[in-house]
Structure 1
C-alpha cells in the first residue's frame, strides 16, 4: 500500500493542470492516476493525424439509442491516456463567452463570474500573439495562430462576411460574435495537450508520482472522508492512500461513473446494480449537457480541398513527410480550421450557435471513408435545453458507462438547430465559398421544416462537449460546492467538465483546464486551513 498527500484521478485536461500545479509545492506528494498510457506518440503529436489516433488513446464510447435521433446509437469519443481528450481533440482554443460565467455565478456558483475566472485563463495561457488585458503570456498552455489554413477555410469566412456577418480574428477577445480562423493549442507545429503543458515539465519533481495504465475501481470513504482509492494495474489490485485529499478528474463520463461505483449516486440505480449505497445523490450522473451537431457536407472537384483521390493521397503523403521533417505544412491542420459564433435569436444574451468549417468531407465522425474532395460545416446549438444522464452499465469498472445525452428532447433545441443549419446553408452558397461549386451530399428543401427536421434527426450527433454530470452549485442537490468539494464527503474534490452547471458557449478544453487551475488553488487554500 502506497500513501500520498494527494491523489488525482485522471490525467486529462483538468487533471493534468491540477497535478502539475499542486506538485509545484515540494512539501506535497502528489500521485496522478491515469487509466491509459503516456500518449508519447507521433500520431498523437501530429495535428493532422487526428483521424489516425491509436485505439488505445480513445475510449470510443457509444450512447444508448437516442429517442429523438431516430433511435440511432451515437458516438462519444473520449481521450484515454495522459492529456485525456486534449490529446485527441481538434485543438481549438475557445473559452466560451463571458456571459456564461456570469450566468454560473447567478445560478449560485459564487466566485465563478467572468472576472473571477479570467485570471486563471490568463495564467494557463501562453498566447504567441502576446499578453494583454484578455490574454496570457508565459503560461504552460501554448496558443498560436494557424499558419497553413486551407484556402477554402478562409473562403468560408469571406462568404460569411459577404452576408454581413462580422469578421472576428479573436474569439476570446472583447466580442465573441463573428467568423474567423480559430487559434489552436499547438507549439512548433505539434499538438500541445494539457499533459505536455503541465505534466512533462514536472516529470523531474520527486514529489510527483505518475501511474499510467492504472484502472480505478472505486474510492475509499471512511467516516465520511475520502481516504484513498482501490486500483488495478497489470491484473493486480491495490490500495493507494491519500492523507489529505482525493481529486476526481475523470471527465463528464468517468467522474460520475467512479462516484457511482463507490456508492455515491441515485440510490435506486445503485441498488439495481448491486452496489451498497453510501449516499443517495440523484444529481450524480444527471444534468448531462452536450452540443448536438449537424454537419452539412459538400463534394467538389477542386483539389484545394482534402480528399482521397490519387492526387489527394500523394499530397497527404508528402505533407506527412514534410511535417516529420520540419513540423510545417498541411499536417498542422486542426481540421476545424475556421468557424464562427452567431446569434440566430436577436434576444440571445450571447451567441447561440457555433460553426466549424472542415476542408474535407466528413461522415459519421470521419469513421466512414469518403474518397471525394470537399468540405463539411458543423452547426451546433451552444446552450441546449435538453438534459441526459450517465449511469452504470454494470459493476465492472472496466465497462463503459451507459451514456444518454437525450439529444433534441427539448423542442427549443430543434428550433435553434433549424435556424443554425439554414444560416450555414446560406453561407455555403455565398461567394467565394460557392465558387468551389460544392454539391450537397444530402439535398433537401431546407425551407421545409418537416424535411429539415427529418434530416437532422437522421444525421445529427455530438461535437464532443459533454458536461454537467457532477454539477456545481450552492443548493442542497448540487454535487460539488463552488470550491469543487463534493458535498457530503470530506477531502474529495471534482475538477473537470462535469462540474459545469451550464454548458459554455464554445469548446470545452480551455474551460476544463481553467477548472483544473482553480481547483489546485482551492485545495491549497483548504490545506492551509
Structure 2
C-alpha cells in the first residue's frame, strides 16, 4: 500500500465524521440538514445490503460474520479463568445498530443526573430527555415521555409466548412489579421489550437517519474507508487519513473532525494519531502530539451470566430444529412480518434490586424462549430457555490500548471484569435472584432441569466459580473517551461537556466512548441520544 497521498486529490468538507455507526449516522444526518455545510462520512465497512441486517432475528447471521462484524476478541481475562470473549461490533453502515438485538432501553434518570454530578453541565436527565423524545417514532404515540415523527422507529414485540408470560408472572411473585414501559417514570419492573423496528423490520440508524439524508447533495458517504489517523497541525485537527483498498486518501476538515468509531475504534484512532498516554505512545513508536492519559481507559461493559434451563414444553429450539416448522416460521414472517423472525435478541426484561436498601435496580434480566452457546451458533437441539442477568453499574474498569502502530492491527481489549468485591457479590446475588424467579409457581410447570450454572452450585464460593465459567459480554462497551471537566471527580477525562477533546482544537468524539459511567441497561438508545445532542451543540457553536 502506498503511503503517498499526494498523487490523490484531497477532498474537503466542513465536517469529517469517522465512523458510520449508531452515532455517526445520526450526526451525519443532522449536520447535513444545514445545506451550507458539507459533510463527509467515512465507514470502514460496507453498505447495509445484507438482507439479514433488516430481519430482526438476523443478528444470528451478522454477529461473528467478518463481512458485518469487526469480530474483536478480548485479551485472556484472569477473572474468567483465562477465557477470551468475543466482542462483536458492527462493521457496516449503521454500525452496531445494524447487528445488535434491537432492544430499546434508555437507562435510569439517575444515570444522567450522575453524569451531571461529575461536572458535565447539560447532561442531567432533564437535559437529555428532549433528545430521546426527538429521536423517537414511538408506536404507542406521543406523551411527556415519548415522541412521534422522529427517525428512530420504536415498536412493541410482535410475538409473545407462554413461557415469557410466565417469567413476568414469576418476577411479580418475588416482588418485581409488572412494568410495561421502562422508558418512562420508573425502570424497575418486568415486561416485554420494545424494539428499534418498524413493521417487523430493523430500524438501524443507517435506515432511520442516514438513508433519507443521503439524498442531500452536501452529504457524501464513503464506505470501505479504513481510518489510519487524524491529520493534525499543531494542536488542531485538520483532516483524516484513510485508505480504500490499497490507496491512501486524505479528507480535509474546514470546521471539525468528529470521531464516531465507538468505544474501541475512537480511542484506537486517537492513540494512532499521537493522542493518549505518553508512555504507551512511546512504547508503540508513535510521535506524541498530546499527552492525554485517559484515552482508552475507563472501559466498562455489562457482564451477563446466562442461566439455561431444560424446558418441559417445546421452545423456539424445537421449531428452528424442525425443517417443516422452520419453513413455517419463514412463511409467517413473509406474510405479516410477525412470529419468531420478528423477535429481538430477548423478549422479556426484568429490572430488579438485589438488595432492598438500593434506591434503584442494580441488575437487568434478558429472557429468551431459546438457548444457544452464543449468537451466531445454532440453537440447542433440546427444549430450553435462557434467563441471563447482568449488573447494571459495574465498578470494574478496563482499557483499550493499541499494540503497535499498524492501523489495521486490533488493540488489546482488557475489560477487567469482576475486579471489585461489589461486582463479585452482585454476580452471586444475580444468579440467586434468577433461581428465585424460575422456582416461582408461575415458572415451575416449565422447568425440567437447570443446565447452567447447574444445581450443584449452591454456596457463594460455588456460584462465583460458576460465574467465572459462564459469564459473557452483553455487548455494551463504553467509557474509553470519558466526558468530564479537566479538574473534577472523574480521573483523566478525554472530552469536555461539549465532547471536545481536551487540549485539542477542532476535534470531538461522539459515541458511547464518551459515557463517563455506563447507563443502566442496553446502550444503543443512549448513544443515539448523545449524537442528537451533539449535533445541536455543534450547529450552535
Residue 258 of structure 1: CA displacement? 0.4
1:48·1:332 contact (CA, 8 Å) conserved in 2? yes
Closer, same or farther: CA 185–228 of 1 in aligned 2, 3 Å: same
Runs of 4+ in 1 over 6 A off after TM superposition: none
Residue 413 (structure 1) aligned with residue 428 (structure 2): no
1:307·1:313 contact (CA, 8 Å) conserved in 2? no
Secondary structure, counterpart of 1:171 in structure 2:
coil
Residue 285 of structure 1: aligned partner: 296
What are the equivalent positions in structure 2 for 1:291-440 lying under 5 Å apart?
Answer: 291-303=302-314, 305-307=315-317, 312-365=322-375, 367=377, 369-440=379-450
Residue 503 of structure 2: aligned partner: 488
Residue 474 of structure 1: CA displacement? 0.9
Alpha-carbon separation, structure 2, partners of 1:106 and 1:162 = 36
Alpha-carbon separation, structure 2, partners of 1:58 and 1:320 = 24
Please list the CA deviations of residues 402-439 of structure 1 after superposition, one character each: whole Å capped at 9, or x if unmatched. 10000001111010111111011111122332211232
What are the equivalent positions in structure 2 for 1:114-129 lying under 5 Å apart?
Answer: 114-129=125-140
Residue 493 of structure 2: aligned partner: 478
Residue 369 of structure 1: CA displacement? 5.0
Residue 310 of structure 1: CA displacement? 7.7
2:47 pairs with one of 29, 35, 38: 38
Secondary structure, counterpart of 1:161 in structure 2:
helix
Residue 68 of structure 1: CA displacement? 0.7
Residue 272 (structure 1) aligned with residue 264 (structure 2): no
1:146·1:184 contact (CA, 8 Å) conserved in 2? yes
Residue 107 (structure 1) aligned with residue 118 (structure 2): yes
Residue 7 of structure 2: aligned partner: none
Which sits farther off after the overlay, 363-372 or 422-431?
363-372
Residue 62 of structure 1: aligned partner: 73
Secondary structure, counterpart of 1:375 in structure 2:
strand
Residue 309 of structure 1: CA displacement? 6.8
Closer, same or farther: CA 310–416 of 1 in aligned 2, 3 Å: closer
Residue 447 of structure 1: CA displacement? 3.6
Residue 51 of structure 1: aligned partner: 60
Q: What is the RMSD of the two structures over their aligned residues, measured on CA atoms?
A: 1.4
Unaligned runs of 5+ in 1: none
Alpha-carbon separation, structure 2, partners of 1:366 and 1:200 = 27
Residue 524 of structure 1: CA displacement? 0.7
Secondary structure, counterpart of 2:329 in structure 1:
helix
Secondary structure, counterpart of 2:349 in structure 1:
strand
Residue 525 (structure 1) aligned with residue 525 (structure 2): no
Residue 497 of structure 1: aligned partner: 512
1:471·1:501 contact (CA, 8 Å) conserved in 2? yes
Which sits farther off after the overlay, 366-375 or 485-494?
366-375
Secondary structure, counterpart of 1:243 in structure 2:
strand
Alpha-carbon separation, structure 2, partners of 1:281 and 1:13 = 26
Please list the CA deviations of residues 279-336 of structure 1 after superposition, one character each: whole Å capped at 9, or x if unmatched. 1111000000111110000122422x11157864432232123323432222101130
Residue 3 of structure 2: aligned partner: none
Unaligned runs of 5+ in 2: 1-9
TM-score (norm 1): 0.97
Residue 108 of structure 1: CA displacement? 0.8
